[in-house]
Chain A
Amino acid sequence: MKLQQLSLFLENRPGRLDAPLEAIAAAGINILTLSLADTAQFGILRLIVRDWDKARQVLDDGGWVANLTEVVAVDVEDRPGGLAEVLKVLDQAGVNIEYMYAFSSYRPGKAILIFRFEDPDQAIKVLLDQGIRALDSDELIHADA
């Protein structure tokens, strides 16, 4: 129910994003989704890929600092209020969201949200209690297929 997300540190300078993405592409790894958090000084690139171990190896070899964190991919209805409902559930249960980003899928009527929780296990339990599903990596790969 949890996914591995690769994060890497980038300086906030023109052209810094190209090199790691090229390295991943050269290794034949497809990026399912990504998000870039940036400050005036630096950025953190977050990637969801199928072969995270291989991708991490590529990045380590290339001299980047990369780490793996567990994130949760939540299936939501692709309609107005779809996200709001999920957030309401989490809020009521007092689940803290570190950050989130969206992932568009090819499945009609469905969207996927990637959440980074302080406590992913607790968050998954809260969501399941309310009938909200978290996707595992197989499902995510299929969602992309």
Chain B
Amino acid sequence: MHNALWNDDAGGFHPASAPDFLPDKRLKEVQLRRLRAVIGRAYEHVELFRTRMRERKLTPESIQGLADIARLPFMIKTDLRDTYPFGLFASPMSDIVRLHASSGTTGKPIVVAYTQEDLKVWAEVMTRTFASCGLHRGDILQNAFGYGLFTGGLGAHYGAETLGATVIPISGGNTDRQIMVMRDFGVTALCATPSYFTYLIERAADLGADLRDMPLKVGVFGAEPWSDAMRARIEEAAGIKAYDIYGLSEIIGPGVASECEAQDGLHVFEDHFYPEIIDPESGAVLPDGEEGELVITTLSKKAMPVIRYRTRDITRIIPEPCSCGRSIRRIRRIGRRSDDMIILRGVNVYPSQVEAALLAVEGTLPHYQIILTREQGLDQMTVEVEVTPEVFSDEVRAMEEVRARLGQAIERIIGIRVTLRLVEPRSIERSQGKAKRVIDRRGD
């Protein structure tokens, strides 16, 4: 029925998008077949997985239906750290053709691997991502995701080439040059982090250029949380349609899920990545529609199968069918994470690190709050600390010293410059349950 849409020459969806329209029954058949295969592979080649299966008295044969996935053990980020660098690989190194890694700012990085087949799958899901965002053969894509160990640049690169678009592998930074290229090469689509693109818009204005006068019509944005308010601002200022995409290097990189023309949730490419929503406390699987932590199982990964990976991202599966006609399910845009980890300029920061710094300086933990904002495309962190009788002085100089001391202690621990603001006692909102330590206004 959708074959007409898959005809790329007609300006419809790329043929690679066919799985996006699979009837539910067919999709489930594909998922189950792949799930059983990936579990067999992981059980055979990955010691950590085999041990955990045996602890639960499970074998690959225990998995007869998709619902049995709930019996499988979870994987968490520290599993990837603990097995650094190659402990989770299910393929011999001779079959592995690519390695990527996280930045590893809080210790050892996480290493992820790809076979040639994995790279084909990656290119396919990124092709489907770009097709979902309305790109075609003939589009000229400026790829401003960073190239290198970070999965964004190369992930988008091969997907766009497979689609048949013309790729400009410009990577991040060098903003004036980006603007020149965008104008001179007649760029029609761009991918970047949303914050970098807002900076690019501002810089273009400084240079007397208006993106609305250029051929640019689509922006593909990911790698950080952003809001609908920010989308509206971007679309207005650049005269484009702005789409959110989702992915994580533990799973594959970008290409796990993508918005479509409806801009109403992100379609998960669930023939390759099986999504579940669980209660982050109990680990129980929640029905579609309920909010919880996103858990993903890679159904086709060869080099590094990842089974029931707890992403810590909080979202929900949208049960209603999408107006675009895709049958694969959607998740709501990721707004927050279950572990409160802050990603600030690509560096992972935890509120607990800020607490440790404040405790070390003053001996007692004052009430504090972390406020994240974005100025000129750069993440800014402000830590508000309530003044206590112990630190209060009637002398301005003494209070400025307190402020500097606290700010420097935090910077020393997290490695990022922060603004420290002293605030009045009881001015930070008290919570009935868990304290809300982080206010993220980066998407506003």
A residues near B, CB below 8 A?
5, 7, 9-11, 16, 37, 39, 41-42, 44, 46, 63-67, 69, 98-99, 116
Contacts and interface: CB of A to CB of B under 8 A. Distances in A.
A44 B394 contact: yes
Interface string B406-444: 000000000000000111111100000000000000000
B395 A67 contact: no
B392 interface: yes
8 contacts: A7-B392, A9-B392, A10-B424, A11-B427, A41-B403, A65-B388, A98-B395, A116-B394
A64 B394 contact: no
Interface centre among A44, A99, A116, by most chain B C-beta atoms within 10 angstroms, is A44
B95 interface: no
Given A7-B394, A9-B425, A67-B393, 17 more contacts: A9-B399, A9-B422, A11-B423, A16-B424, A39-B400, A41-B403, A42-B399, A44-B395, A44-B396, A44-B399, A63-B426, A64-B425, A65-B389, A65-B425, A66-B392, A67-B392, A99-B395
Interface centre among B400, B421, B425, B427, by most chain A C-beta atoms within 10 angstroms, is B425
Given A41-B403, A44-B399, A67 B425 contact: no
B67 to A, nearest CB: 54
Which 8 pairs show the lowest CB-CB distances between chains A and B?
A: A7-B394, A65-B392, A63-B426, A9-B387, A69-B394, A37-B396, A65-B387, A11-B424
Nearest to B394: A7
A10 B396 CA distance: 12
A46 B394 contact: yes
Contact of A41 (B388, B394, B395, B422): B422
Contacts of A11: 422-424, 427
Contacts of B396: 37, 39, 44, 99
A99 B395 CA distance: 8
B388 A67 contact: no
Contacts of B427: 11
Contacts of A98: 395
Contacts of A99: 395-396
Interface in B148-203: none
Interface of B: 387-389, 392-396, 399-400, 403, 421-427
B418 to A, nearest CB: 14
Contacts of A39: 396, 399-400
Contacts of A5: 394
B399 A67 contact: no
Contacts of A64: 424-425
Contacts of A10: 424
Nearest to A8: B392
Contacts of B421: 41
Contacts of B400: 39
A11 B399 CA distance: 12
Interface centre among A5, A7, A41, A99, by most chain B C-beta atoms within 10 angstroms, is A41
Interface centre among B394, B395, B399, B421, by most chain A C-beta atoms within 10 angstroms, is B394
Contacts of B399: 9, 39, 42, 44
B368 to A, nearest CB: 15
A44 B387 CA distance: 12
Contacts of B425: 9, 63-65
B400 to A, nearest CB: 7
Contacts of A69: 394
Contacts of B423: 11
Nearest to B421: A41
Nearest to A10: B424
A66 B392 CA distance: 8
Nearest to A118: B395
Contacts of A65: 387-389, 392, 424-425
A69 B393 CA distance: 9
Nearest to B397: A98
Nearest to B400: A39
A98 B422 CA distance: 21
B395 A9 contact: no
Contacts of B395: 44, 98-99, 116
Contacts of B392: 7, 9, 65-67
Nearest to B395: A98
B27 to A, nearest CB: 55
Nearest to B419: A41
A63 B388 CA distance: 10
Contacts of A63: 424-426
B382 to A, nearest CB: 11
Nearest to A42: B422
Nearest to A16: B424
A99 B397 CA distance: 11
Contacts of B388: 65
